[in-house]
Amino acid sequence: MSHESFGQRLLTFPDAEKSPLSIRAKALVFVDPRSRQLREALESLAPRALPVLIRGETGSGKELLARHIHRGSDRSGLFVCVNCGAISPTYADAELFGYAAGSHSGTASSRAGWFGSANGGTLYLDEIGDLPLPIQVKLLAALENHEVTRVGAHQPSPVDVRLVAATSIDLAQAVAAGKFHERLFHYLSEGQLDLPALRERVGDILSLAEYFLGIYSQRLDLPVPLISDAAQRVLEHHRWPGNTRELENVIHFALLVSSGDEILPEHLNLPTAGSPLAQVQRIFASASLAEQQTLLNFLHEQNGIST
């Protein structure tokens, strides 16, 4: 049961160790002092039954923290990851809570939905602020009552689900604007983790860069080059508006264009801050693969080039 949206899987069941997920699936390091403080807070929350709200910029690694929380808990069920921005408003009830056999034309079997799939485990809702308000109300009821009623069913089904949610926006402001359910916000506020942006975790940058370099070298069957001292300084001084996702793309590019046994600053292709080219490249680097292709297609069309 999975859906596609802008190159991202809407639903993924297994843990990273058992599934060929993104290269970023294990790109979580705790070298920087701020990261070590985060790890202490994370490991304190993980064994508890509290819901958790992870706040951080897009591409900073919020799903990785959620997976870490699940692994650190005593929950034997699955880690179910849902991209709220890809939810169909028409079928949101059925996707979230499941449906009974015969409730939809042409469906002879029932579906457990995301809640049923995460029973005994962890339900991770990425960008929870994108959930429609009516679904937020039903979500809170399911969490508080520990039961869901599938579409077309006459009786509720018990569920034991721990919610971990993530947001890149200020949900308190969304509540004030009437765009997010206040009680759901307070429910999520029991356990909060703030994930600093990569530029605020400078001590993690080189470790992550070496991780991506090693992974891509192995996948592409290429020798692993060293990152020169000059390139290291460039990496540590870049602002990383696209966070870990941007760093991954920069290292991937550098590996492909470097010809010697060292990655040099020019291989990183990081232009001077503030230039128009820098702005375009930052947008491109922080985009998903599908979004990158859409941008390339647009640029080709503007220049009369067929792809």
Please check the confidence at residue 152 and state whether its pLDDT lies above 80: no
Q: What angle do CA 25, 29, 32 make, to 5 degrees?
A: 150
Number of structural domains the chain divides into: 2
Contact 184, 227 (CB under 8 A): no
Q: What's the chain's Rg over C-alpha atoms? A: 21
Residue 136 lies in a domain: yes
Tokens of 179: 């765009």
Please check the confidence at residue 73 and state whether its pLDDT lies above 70: yes
Can you give the CATH number for the domain in which 150 is found?
3.40.50.300
Give residue for tokens 């460039």.
234
Contact 205, 161 (CB under 8 A): no
pLDDT in tens, 77-109: 999 999 998 888 777 888 888 777 555 555 544
Residues 180 and 272 in one domain: no
- What average pLDDT score do residues 158-169 get? 94
Please check the confidence at residue 245 and state whether its pLDDT lies above 80: yes
Please check the confidence at residue 237 and state whether its pLDDT lies above 90: yes
Residue 307 lies in a domain: no
> 41: domain range?
4-194
Can you give the CATH number for the domain in which 285 is found?
1.10.8.60
Q: How far apart are CA 225 and CA 249, in angstroms?
A: 16
Residue 19 lies in a domain: yes
Residue 34 lies in a domain: yes
Share above pLDDT 70 across residues of the chain, in percent, rounded to a whole number: 75
Domain end among 194, 220, 244: 194
**Ramachandran region, residue 146 (left: φ > 0; alpha: ψ -120 to 50; beta: rest):** left
Share above pLDDT 90 across residues of the chain, in percent, rounded to a whole number: 56
Residues 107 and 87 in one domain: yes
Residues 141 and 190 in one domain: yes
Please check the confidence at residue 269 and state whether its pLDDT lies above 60: yes
Residues 190 and 226 in one domain: no
- What are the angstrom distances between the C-alpha of 120 and each of 62, 134, 137? 22, 25, 22
pLDDT in tens, 270-286: 864 444 555 555 566 66
Residues 98 and 189 in one domain: yes
pLDDT in tens, 11-53: 333 333 443 345 555 667 889 999 999 999 999 999 998 999 9
Residue 229 lies in a domain: yes
Residues 189 and 53 in one domain: yes
pLDDT at 252 (0 to 100): 95
Between residues 7 and 272, the one the model is more confident about: 272
pLDDT at 279 (0 to 100): 54
